[in-house]
């Protein structure tokens, strides 16, 4: 078993045993310097956003869900499938997660086969549970049974709507290729219930005793550094737990950190050892910028004018 001080080393050992995520293509002299770095997926169904992130070399996969499809303009299941087919084609051979909408085992397996046939890079998203929240008479193990059925059919599964490490563990046990803990929703929930008196947002942005002269929570470095590594975000803590459990038993299912809200959570997931981060396009767009990068660019650009005739 892992002791707290060996967790980081164990997570690293598991990562480097997994297949390279950024392999250097044959014949290339300059090797990729981050062969075991996590993959970054786009959490969106918007084709144009996906295309520009893909063409910029920023993403190596996509995750969608019914809400994202609706937001991207799908008004019927046929339209949703058309949009998914286009995304699968654009991203091929990189993985694209498509979520089931059916709720009983036989129909879910049938729908999974239908979605898997849309493209060989499809990954089927199966909710871990919640079936009784929709129909109290439903089998609570519906999701786990379907994941196992799909594993038997060699169909890759992304087990979704995970909010604790036990759910992640069982999803891996029945054959999920990916497990998706929703860290942002968990942080939002905890924050709302633990601190109803505070402004909306997740706990990560409320660092005690780190207020600036204006009395707000801005810090020049990440909140993680500002709080001396104190974990304020329950969502990120979940990623730590799952990575530690998977390392304990050398579980090969990939930890797909989901429901990210901001670039700080992105950093924290990297510190926690997530295998993949799926990030909304709006958050990915903020990644290259920082107020000091802007200031530096402006001054370099001003000085460069001296060289421009």
Is there binding between residue 182 and ligand E4P (CB under 6 A)? yes
Closer of 10 and 42 to ligand E4P (Cβ)? 42
**Structural contact between residues 122 and 150, judged by C-beta atoms closer than 8 angstroms:** no
Is there binding between residue 278 and ligand E4P (CB under 6 A)? yes
Min separation Cβ 298 and ligand E4P, Å: 33
Backbone angles phi, psi at 62, to 5 degrees: -140, 145
Cα distances (Å, whole numbers) of residue 51 to 43, 56, 233, 285, 309? 13, 9, 32, 13, 37
Site for ligand E4P in 139-168 (CB under 6 A): 160
**Structural contact between residues 149 and 192, judged by C-beta atoms closer than 8 angstroms:** no
Cα distances (Å, whole numbers) of residue 142 to 61, 115, 258, 265? 27, 18, 22, 31
Min separation Cβ 14 and ligand E4P, Å: 22
Min separation Cβ 201 and ligand E4P, Å: 14
Site for ligand E4P in 107-136 (CB under 6 A): none
The neighbouring-strand residues paired with 157 are: 124
The neighbouring-strand residues paired with 262 are: none
Binder among 111, 122, 167, 180 for ligand E4P (CB under 6 A): 180
Q: Is the peptide bond before 164 cis (omega within 30 degrees of 0)?
A: no
From the list 125, 232, 285, 309, the catalytic residue is 125
Using CA atoms, how far apart are residues 139 and 148, in angstroms rounded to an integer?
Answer: 15
Strand, coil or helix: 123: strand
Using CA atoms, how far apart are residues 2 and 265, in angstroms rounded to an integer?
Answer: 25
Span interacting with ligand E4P, options 135-143, 144-152, 178-186, 204-212, rule CB under 6 A: 178-186
Span interacting with ligand E4P, options 146-154, 181-189, 214-222, 267-275, rule CB under 6 A: 181-189
DSSP designation for 42: E
Cα 134–chain centre separation: 25
Closer of 116 and 257 to ligand E4P (Cβ)? 257
Binder among 15, 105, 156, 185 for ligand E4P (CB under 6 A): 185
Is residue 285 annotated as a catalytic residue, yes or no? no
Is there binding between residue 262 and ligand E4P (CB under 6 A)? no
Binder among 14, 49, 65, 254 for ligand E4P (CB under 6 A): 65
Cα distances (Å, whole numbers) of residue 293 to 92, 96, 220, 288, 299? 34, 33, 12, 9, 10
Is there binding between residue 192 and ligand E4P (CB under 6 A)? no
Closer of 165 and 278 to ligand E4P (Cβ)? 278
Closer of 65 and 265 to ligand E4P (Cβ)? 65
Is there binding between residue 191 and ligand E4P (CB under 6 A)? no
Residues known to be catalytic: 125
> Where on the chain is the footprint of ligand E4P (CB under 6 A)?
43, 63, 65, 160, 180, 182, 184-185, 258-259, 278
């Amino acid at each position: 078993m892992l002791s707290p001080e060996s967790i980081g080393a164990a997570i690293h050992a598991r990562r480097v045993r997994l297949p390279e995520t950024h392999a250097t293509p044959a014949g290339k002299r300059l090797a990729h310097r981050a062969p075991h770095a996590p993959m970054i997926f786009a959490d969106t169904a918007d084709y144009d956003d996906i295309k520009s992130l893909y063409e910029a070399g920023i993403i190596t996969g996509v995750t969608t869900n019914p809400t994202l499809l609706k937001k991207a303009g799908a008004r019927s299941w046929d339209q949703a499938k058309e949009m998914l087919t286009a995304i699968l084609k654009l991203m091929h051979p990189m993985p694209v997660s498509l979520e089931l909408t059916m709720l009983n085992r036989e129909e879910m397996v049938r729908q999974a086969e239908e979605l898997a046939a849309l493209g060989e890079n499809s990954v089927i998203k199966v909710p871990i549970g919640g079936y009784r929240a929709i129909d109290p008479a439903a089998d609570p193990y519906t999701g786990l049974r379907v994941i196992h059925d799909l594993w038997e059919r060699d169909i890759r599964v992304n087990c979704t709507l995970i909010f604790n490490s036990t759910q992640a563990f069982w999803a891996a046990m029945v054959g999920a290729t990916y497990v998706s803990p929703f860290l942002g929703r968990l942080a939002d929930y905890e924050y709302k219930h633990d601190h109803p008196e505070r402004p909306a947002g997740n706990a990560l942005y409320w660092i005690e005793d780190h207020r600036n002269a204006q009395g707000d929570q801005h810090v020049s470095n990440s909140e993680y550094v500002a709080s001396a590594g104190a974990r304020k975000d329950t969502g990120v803590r979940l990623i730590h737990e799952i990575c530690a459990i998977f390392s304990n038993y050398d579980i090969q299912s990939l930890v797909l950190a989901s429901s990210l809200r901001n670039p700080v959570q992105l950093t924290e997931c990297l510190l926690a050892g997530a295998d993949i981060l799926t990030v909304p396009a709006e958050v990915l767009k903020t990644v290259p910028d920082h107020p000091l990068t802007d200031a530096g660019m402006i001054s370099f650009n001003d000085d460069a004018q001296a060289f421009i005739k």
